[in-house]
A and B are shown apart, each in its own frame.
Chain A
Amino acid sequence: MAPAQQDRTAWLLLTPMISIMVLVTAFPLLNTLWLAFTDAGLTGQGYVWQWIGLENFAYILDDSDFRAAVGRTAYFTVISVSAEVVLGVLVALLLNQEFKGRTLVRALLILPWALPTIVNAVMWRLIYNPEYGSLNALLTQIGLLDAYRSWLGDPATAMNMVILADIWKNYPLIALIALAGLQTVPKDLYEAAIMDGANAWTRFWKITLPGIMGALSVAMVLRAIEAFKVFDIFYVMTRGGPADSTKTVSFFVYQESFTYLRAGSGAAYALTVTAMSALMIAIYVVLLVRREKRS
C-alpha cells in the first residue's frame, strides 16, 4: 500500500475510537464550558437557560463560603498527602529489607488501597462511632480518653478524622511506588558510601531519597490532584457537616448542581475547581518531562 493510503486506512480505523472519545470527553467538557456562562437550571425537561456572561464567575469571586471550602480542601490535600508520603516511604524502606514473610506482608499492604472508598468510609464511621466505636474503646481503655467522644460530630476533630481514614486507605499506593523506586537504586552506591564512612541517616538523604524522588514526586502530584477533588469519603462520613466544617469544593459543586439544581453556576464552580487542579496537572507534566530528559 502507498503511504497516503496507509494513512487513510489508519485514520479510518481510528475513527470509532476518536468519535467515542469526542462523545465522552470533549462533548461534556464543552457543554460544561457553555453552561458556566449561563444561568441554566436543571428541570424535568432539561436545561432552561439564558446567557449571562461572566456573572457566575463574579459571584464565585465574592463567595466567602466557597473560599472557605477551598481552604478546607487545600488543608485536606496538604495534610493527607504529606502524611501518606512520609508513611509510604517508611513502610517501603521496611518492606525493602530482607525478612521472613516479606512477600506476604507486601501483598497485605495493597489491601487498604484495593478497598472501595465507600466501604472504607463506612468502616471508619463504625470505628469512630460515639457509642460503640473501637477507637473510643481503645483510647479509654489505655487511659488516653476519659469518656467516649463524638469524633465526627465535633468541628474540631471531624476533618482530621476523615483525613486519618483517607491516609489509611491511600498510603499503600505511595508505599508501592516508593518500593518500586527502591529496586532501581544501585546497590554499589551504598557499598561505596559505607566505605566512605557514611552512616544510615546520610545514606538515606544522599542516596535513597534522590534515587526514588522521581517516582515519588509523580505519585505525590497524582495523589494531590485526586485529594483535591475528594468527594465520596466526605459524602459517606460527614455529608459536609458538622456546621459545614468538612464541606469540600467537590461537595460544593455537587450541591450547587444537583441539590439546588443550578447547573449554570454549578458548572462555573466546577470549572474553577478544574482550573485549580490544572495547576497541579501542569506541575505533574513538568516533572514528567524532566524525568524523560534525565533518562
Chain B
Amino acid sequence: MNSFFKGAACGLALLIHQSLPAFAEDVTLNAIFMKQAAYSEDDTKAMAKAFEEANPGLKVNLEFVPYEALHDKIVAAQGAGSSGYDVVLFDVIWPPEFATKGFLQDVTARVPKGDRDKVFDGAWTTVDYDGKIWGMPWILDTKYLFYNEDMLKQAGISAPPKTFEELAEQAKIIKDKGIAKYPIVWSWSQAEALICDYTSMVGGAKGSFIQDGKLSFDTGGSVEAVNYMKKTLDDGVTNPNSREYLEEDVRKVFSAGEAAFAMNWTYMFNMANDPKESKVAGKVGIVPAPGFKGKAEASAINGSMGLGISAGSKHPDEAWKFITFMTSQETQNKYAKLSLPIWKSSYEDPAVTKGQEKLIDAAKISLGVMFARPMTPSYPELSSILQKNIQQVLLGQASTDDAMRAATKAAGRLR
C-alpha cells in the first residue's frame, strides 16, 4: 500500500512539474483561421512561416475551420474555460458581441495612431466598436459581380449591367438565346452568405436596416431586395440551386462555364482565372455589384475580417507582433492575389495591381460604397432569423411582406 501512494505522489509531482512554464522557452501562439474565401490556407501558412523565420523563438500553430464554424469555435474554446486561441480571425459582424461579452482584448493602445489614415475606413469599421479598437483589419473584402465575357459577347451584349434591373434583362437575353440555362448564380443557402447578397442589394436600393431607431426589415430597401431575388428565381434567370449554395459552389458553377453572372468575393477573380481550377480562365469579367435603377450606381457589402487577441491569451504581446506582421503592408502586397490589402497606397503599387487591373478598378469603386450589416451584439441570432425568413420567400413558402414583417417582429424580441 505504501508504495502505491509513493507512486501516486511521484506521478503527481511529475504532472505539476510538466505543467509549470519553463523559463525562457519558445512561445507558441495558437491561431484560428478559416478555410474558404480570401487568403488561401497555403498563403496563410507561408505568411506564418515567414513570421517564424523573422522571429526566432516564436512559433505559430495554425488551425483552419470552415467559415460556418469559426464563430462557434472561438466562443466555445473560451467559454470552456481554457485560454483557447491567442489570435482569432473574426468577421465584421462579431465585434459588438465579442466586445460586450469579453471575448477580445481591447487593442486601442497598440494600434499606431499614424495607421488610421493609411488604411481604408471600411476596414476600420471591421474592428471598431464602442469607440475602441478590437483588432487589426486583415481581409478587406466585398462581393463583386463577375461575368463571363464570352457569353456576353455571344449574346450581343456590349457592356456588363450597371443596375440590378439590367442584370435581370441581360440574363433573360442569355437564357432565351440558350447560351446558359440559368445565367445567374448566387450563394443563397441558409447561411451568412445569403445575408451578404441581401445586404448588398439593400445598400443598392439605398435602404436602411434601422427605422425610428429600431431594427426593421419590412420597409423600402429590404422588400425591394427580396422581391428582386424572388423574381429572378421565378423568371428562371437565377439558378434555382442557388438556394443550397455557398460561395465555393458559386465559384465552381461559374468556373465550369455554366453561369454568365455570379456574385462572389474577391478571391474568385484569380481562382476563376486559373486554368488549373477553371474552364473560363481569361474570360472573367468583374465589375462592382450594381445598384437599383435611380437609387445607386453600385453596391457592396462590407465583408471584411480582422485579427484580434482573444481575451484569455497569455501572450498578448507576441500575439500582437504576429498580427502586426500579418496585416503589414509588406505582407499584404506580397499576397494580393486572393485578397486585397487594407492599405490605401497599395492600390497604386504596380506589384499589387499587375495582372489584376480589372479587379483593382472594380475595387476602387466598391470599397467606397461598402454597406454594413446591422450592428448588434445579438447578430448571430438576427442573422438566423433573416436567413430563415428570406429563404421562406425564395422557396415560395411565404410572401415577401409576410416574411419580412415576421423577421422584423422577431428582431424586436431579441434580448
Partner of B71, one of A41, A154, A259: A259
Q: How far is the CB of B282 from chain A (nearest CB, A)?
A: 22
What 0/1 pattern do residues 190 to 213 of B give for CB contact below 8 A with A? 110000000000000000000000
Chain A, interface size category, equals: 20 to 34
Contact in complex: B311, A46 (CB < 8 Å): no
B45-103: which residues lie under 8 A (CB-CB) from chain A? 68, 71-72, 75-76, 78-79, 81, 97-98, 101-103
**Is B373 located at the chain interface by the 8 A CB criterion?**
no
Q: Is the CB of A261 within 8 A of B81?
A: no
Answer yes or no: A140 CB below 8 A from chain B CBs.
no
Assess whether B244 is in contact with A242, with CB atoms less than 8 Å apart.
yes
Pairwise interchain contact B395-A131, C-beta atoms closer than 8 A: no
Residue A24 at the chain B interface, CB threshold 8 Å = no
Asked whether A44 and B102 contact (CB < 8 A) given A150-B243, A242-B190, A255-B384, the answer is yes
A43 to B74, CA, bound (A): 11
Task: Scan B174-194; emit 1 where CB is below 8 A from any A CB, else 0.
Answer: 000000000000000111000
Interface string of B370-381 (1 = CB under 8 A from A): 000000001011
Q: A88: CB under 8 A from chain B?
A: no
CB < 8 Å neighbour of A244 from B72, B76, B190, B191: B190
Q: Is B310 an interface residue (CB 8 A)?
A: yes
- Please determine whether B72 and A259 come into contact, CB atoms closer than 8 angstroms: yes
Known: A45-B102, A239-B191. A259 touches B384 (CB 8 A): yes
- Proximity string of chain A (236-249) to chain B, C-beta cutoff 8 Å, 1 when within and 0 when not: 00111111100000
Identify which of B72, B240, B397 contacts A150 (C-beta below 8 A): B240
Looking at the complex, which one of B245, B310, B312, B388 makes contact with A243 (CB distance below 8 Å)?
B388
The answer to whether A153 touches B243 (Cβ under 8 A) is: yes
Answer whether residue B392 sits at the interface, using C-beta atoms and an 8 A cutoff: yes
Given contacts A43-B102, A44-B310, A259 and B380 within 8 Å (CB-CB): yes
- Residues of A contacting B392 with CB < 8 Å? 243
Give the contacting residue for A155; candidates B240, B258, B395; CB below 8 A: B395
> Is residue B241 within 8 Å, beta carbon to beta carbon, of the partner chain?
yes
Q: Name A260's closest neighbour in chain B (CB-CB).
A: B381
Residues in B with CB closer than 8 Å to A260 are 378, 380-381
Closest A residue to B69 by beta carbon equals A235
Assess whether A46 is in contact with B81, with CB atoms less than 8 Å apart: yes
What distance in Å separates the Cβ of B350 from its nearest Cβ neighbour in chain A? 39
B397–A152 touching, CB < 8 Å? no
Task: Report, as a range, how many residues of chain B touch the other chain.
Answer: 35 or more
Nearest CB in chain B: distance from A33 CB, A = 18
Docked Cα-Cα span, A85 to B241, in Å, equals: 34
Q: Is B256 within 8 A of A131, CB to CB?
A: yes
B190/A154 in contact, CB under 8 A: no
Q: Is the CB of B243 within 8 A of A44?
A: no
CB contact under 8 A between A241 and B97, given known A44-B310, A131-B253, A154-B395: no
Give min CB distance, B232 to chain A, whole Å.
15
Shortest CB-to-CB span from A258 to chain B, Å, is 4
User: Judging by beta carbons under 8 Å apart, are B191 and A41 in contact?
Assistant: no
Known A243-B391, A243-B392, A259-B72; contact A45-B311, beta-carbon cutoff 8 A = yes
Residues of B within 8 A of A242 (CB): 189-190, 243-244, 391, 395
From the candidates B76, B387, B388, name the one contacting A258 in the complex (CB within 8 A). Answer: B76
What separation, in Å, do the CA atoms of A240 and B189 have in the docked complex? 10
Complex partner residue of A44 from B241, B244, B312, CB under 8 angstroms? B312
Q: Which residues of B contact A259 (CB under 8 A)?
A: 71-72, 380-381, 384
**Bound Cα distance from A264 to B102, whole angstroms:** 18
Binary per-residue interface labels of chain A (8-24) against chain B in the complex, 1 for a CB within 8 Å, 0 otherwise: 01000000000000000
What chain B residues lie within 8 Å of A262 (beta carbons)?
415
Let me know if B104 is at the binding interface, CB within 8 A. yes
Of B102, B244, B381, B388, which one neighbours A153 at CB under 8 angstroms?
A: B244
Contacts of B191 in A (CB 8 A): 239, 241
Q: Complex formed: what's the CA distance from A259 to B253 in Å?
A: 30
Query: Are A244 and B388 in contact, with the CB atoms below 8 A?
Result: yes
Tell me which of A42, A240, A244 contacts B79 (CB under 8 A): A42
Asked whether any CB of chain B lies closer than 8 Å to the CB of A263, the reply is: yes
Interchain CB contact under 8 A, A258 and B397 = no
A181 at the interface (CB under 8 A from B): no
A252 to chain B, nearest CB (A): 11
Nearest CB in chain A to that of B312: its residue: A44
Contact of A261 with B97 in the complex, beta carbons under 8 Å: yes
* A211 close to chain B: CB less than 8 A: no
With A46-B81, A239-B191, A242-B190 known to touch, is A261 a contact of B101 (CB < 8 Å)?
yes
Q: How far is the CB of A122 from chain B (nearest CB, A)?
A: 12
- B189 contacts A44, C-beta separation under 8 Å: no
Q: Which residue of B lies closest to A237 (CB)?
A: B244
- Interface flags for B234-248 (1: CB within 8 Å of A; 0: not) read 000000110111000
CB distance from B19 to the nearest CB of A (A): 17
In the assembled complex, how far is the CB of residue A103 from the closest CB belonging to chain B, in whole angstroms?
Answer: 41
- Residues of chain A from 222 to 277 with CB closer than 8 A to chain B in the complex: 238-244, 254-255, 258-263
| Additional A-B contact list (18), CB under 8 Å, known A45-B102, A46-B81, A153-B240 | A43-B79, A44-B103, A44-B312, A131-B258, A153-B243, A153-B244, A153-B245, A155-B395, A239-B189, A241-B189, A242-B190, A243-B388, A243-B391, A243-B392, A243-B395, A244-B388, A258-B72, A258-B76
**What residues of chain B have their CB less than 8 Å away from a CB belonging to chain A?**
1, 68, 71-72, 75-76, 78-79, 81, 97-98, 101-104, 189-191, 240-241, 243-245, 252-253, 256, 258, 310-312, 378, 380-381, 384, 387-388, 391-392, 395, 397, 415
| A binding-site residues for B, Cβ under 8 Å | 9, 41-46, 130-131, 150, 152-155, 238-244, 254-255, 258-263
**A-B pairs with lowest CB-CB distance, top 4:** A241-B190, A153-B244, A44-B102, A44-B311
In the complex, 14 of the A-B residue pairs with CB atoms within 8 angstroms, ordered by the A residue number, are A44-B101, A44-B103, A130-B241, A153-B243, A154-B395, A238-B190, A240-B190, A241-B190, A241-B191, A242-B395, A243-B391, A243-B392, A261-B75, A262-B415
